[in-house]
Structures are given as structure tokens and as C-alpha cells.
Amino acid sequence: MKRKKLFTGALLTMVLLTAFVGGGYAIFTDTESMHVEFEAGKIDITLNGLEGYQEISLAPGTFDDWKPGDHMEWPITIHNKEISNKAWIQVYVFPTGPWDEGAANLWDVATFSLKKPDWWNGKLGSGAHVNLTLVVDFPLSAGNKYQGAQGDLLILVVAKQWRNLMAEGWSCVALENKDTTNWLPILSDDIEGEVCYKTDSPLELVVNAYGLEGGKEYQVTLNGPGVCTDTDEGIGGSPPEVNFKRGYWNYWSSPPKLGTTCDSSEGSKGMGVWNFGPNHPYGSVTSNPDDSLSYMTSLDLPEGTYTGVKFLIKETTAGFPSVLMETEPLNFIITTP
């Protein structure tokens, strides 16, 4: 099975400096030339000593006999084999089913978590490794309904070259193309990206995406959790221009545009939406000829705590289908310096 190329090349810059001498200027009458070759750095990541996609069984004893009250832990080691480049590592765990209709699923009652060492902030030095622990608990309260129940997990390790932004107080979240039937990342394509953000006032954003269609308009969007929360209000606001730019998506059957306030008539489902690209009328960004997208901006959000924020890149076609979305929600606090 084809797997994503979880690598992004570094930006290399060479600066030529000229010197001024003794208050005047130097007159150069000789010419020299120099050929310099640059190569983007590499990262080489292994998971539990192996590369690529792997399957492991997470069960005690005979691998098929979970009992109420079982608590199990499994070590996961991520190793950056490349000896000259730091890596930015993010690890995501998704329950993948089986979701057969009417069948009991292990994750209806069982819980999972990933323990990370306190020192690790996602950066993995050249030649270094980090030990994580996957924890699964099957509660004592599980009843007979869950005898024979099954459940699978997808552990996704995203590895990219270290972002210098992260040393300046930024946070980054990976973007993935997801299957909208189960919201799991599609690992058989090369559509990926990341959004980095800094939670000062205004909110600063740097977006990079790859594997798109070159020269096409893509809508870039912040969405609130969609239940008329303070986060929805901060993102949606009440601006005069609401036509696909900013406002509330009120779950109308055929909405002609975004509304300016939360519509509580449908169970307070209003979702704050900000399509913040520079291009009108959809708040979109034009992708580069090489099928990538790069965009930097600042968003003047009100002060407050923002939780469950979704980041989306969508096509500006009928229905605005999502192409990329965050692998975990963005949570941040906006304060005025």
C-alpha cells in the first residue's frame, strides 16, 4: 500500500555581504566565481525499529481475551535515524472500528491514551529517540454486551523537518486529507500539510499544504465547535460582510450565505466560521503551480479562550468539499499584550 511521504524540505537562504572600507567604498577589479550546491535535509524515522506501515496486536495473553478491569501498556519507540537533522514529530491515535451496525465496539467503553515524557515537545534531535507508552483500559463496568467486541487503533506518526518557527513560541498541527465517512486520515495519497499558529493578539497563522491542484482556488477556514459557544462567537463575530467570508453557519437546508448571529432555533447548532483567505468572494487562496499552497496572515480575534477550533482547506466548488483538515483541534488563548 502506498504511504505518505512524511517529509518537507527545508528553506535554504544564502546571503551575499559587501564590505565598505575606510569611509569610502572598495573598487573591485577582479572577478571570481563559485559554484555552490545545496541539498534539502532528510529525516528517517522508525517506529519500534521498523519503517513504514505496521500492524501490531494490542491484547493481553492470548490476544483475544480482554476482561473487565484489564489495564495494559505497550511501549512505542520513535527513532530519528538521520544524524544531521532535527525532526518535528507528532503522534495521533485514531479508533478505526470495526463500526458494523448493531455490533458492540470495544471503544464504546474502553479508553486509550498516549503517555509522553514531560521533556518532549515534539522535537526529536538527530540520532535521538523518544519512548512513548500506549495505555488501554477495559472498564470493570463493561457488561455482557461487550463479550467478543473488537476494536482497532491507527497510530499515525507525522515526521517533518524541524520548523524554526517552533523555537519562537509557535505551535504546529498536521493537516491530513480525511475520509469524511469515518474522519480517518487517508494514508494512500500525498495530500498533507500543516498549520502553525502563534497565540498573540492578533492570531498569526502560517499555512502550508502539498499535493493539491496547481493554480486552483482553495478556501481556508477556521470553524468553531458548532454549538454557539464563546469560541463560535469569537470566530464568527458579526461583521457586515458575511457572504462566504465570516459569520455563523446556522445549518439551514440551503443557506444562501453565512448569518451574522447564532440561530438557536435548531438546538443551538450555530457554528462560527471565518473564511480568511484574501481572494473574494470565497475567502480563498490560489495554490502554487507545483501543487502546493503557502499563506501567512494575522486574524484579529477577540480576547478569550478558544477550544475545539477546526482548521480546514476546502475546494471552492459546489458544496465546498474539504481537502485538508486538522488532525487534532486547535486550542489557544488570545490576550492583548
Contact assessment for residue 269 and residue 236, using Cβ atoms and an 8 Å cutoff: no
Kindly report the CATH class assigned to 168-337. mainly beta
Identical fold at 1-162 and 168-337?
A: yes
pTM equals 0.77
- Residue 88, C-beta contacts closer than 8 angstroms, at least 6 positions apart: 122, 123, 124, 159, 160, 161, 162, 163, 166, 172
List the chain pLDDT tens, one digit each, 337 residues.
333 433 332 222 222 222 323 333 233 334 444 544 444 455 667 777 767 666 665 554 444 577 788 888 888 888 888 767 778 888 888 887 767 777 778 888 889 898 999 888 788 888 888 888 888 888 888 888 888 777 778 888 888 777 666 667 788 888 999 888 888 888 888 898 989 898 876 899 999 999 999 999 999 999 999 888 999 999 998 777 777 889 888 765 455 577 777 766 655 578 899 999 999 888 999 999 999 999 999 999 999 999 999 999 999 988 889 999 998 899 999 987 6
Domains of the chain by residue range:
1-162, 168-337
Cell 572598495 locates to 26
193-to-66, 90, 134, 238 alpha-carbon distances in Å: 38, 13, 26, 30
The domain 1-162 is placed in CATH, from the list 1.10.260, 3.40.50, 2.60.40, 1.10.10, at 2.60.40
202's grid cell: 492578533
